[in-house]
Amino acid sequence: MEYLALPFVLRQGYLDTADILESITYSVGLLLSSRPGSMPFDPEYGCDIWDKEYSDLHSTNKAEVRSSLRNAIDRYEKRLYNVSVSFTGIDKATSQILGINIKVTGNYREDDEEKRFEAKYRVG
């Protein structure tokens, strides 16, 4: 099965397509980079990491933020299940306080076969 690739690019009258793994990767990336209320089709679409100050991610309850991100992925990316979210590169000693690296893992099915999903995103 083919899926539409993000961002939408019209070439020679056709939109680019992606396989399921690319499609899930694009979808989760769009979700993580969207603030709730920014998409007119669903005011709740997005993740609330945008309501946090990035400097607060060093001291905030990371389990709560991971849970919130996982719930957003569970709600809006139904092809992905057994989702796990972790932060990479959060270090108080680093001089780079803006932005965060998020690793998302889980499983998806393709052609009646369970496959592993893993992607890293830079948000902020």
Bridge partners of 17, per DSSP, are: 4
Per residue of the chain (124 residues), give pLDDT as tens: 778 777 777 777 777 888 999 999 999 999 998 988 888 889 999 888 777 655 555 556 678 888 889 999 999 999 999 999 998 765 555 545 566 789 999 999 999 999 999 999 988 7
Smallest Cα–Cα separation from 69: which of 80, 98, 59, 58? Answer: 80
Q: How far apart are CA 71 and CA 42, in angstroms?
A: 16
pTM greater than the 0.75 cutoff: yes
CATH number, domain with residue 71: 3.10.450.40
For 14, how many CA atoms within 13 A lie in the half-sphere containing its CB?
Answer: 5
Count of structural domains within the chain: 1
Task: Return the residue matching tokens 């919130």.
Answer: 68
Domain coverage including residue 116: 3-123
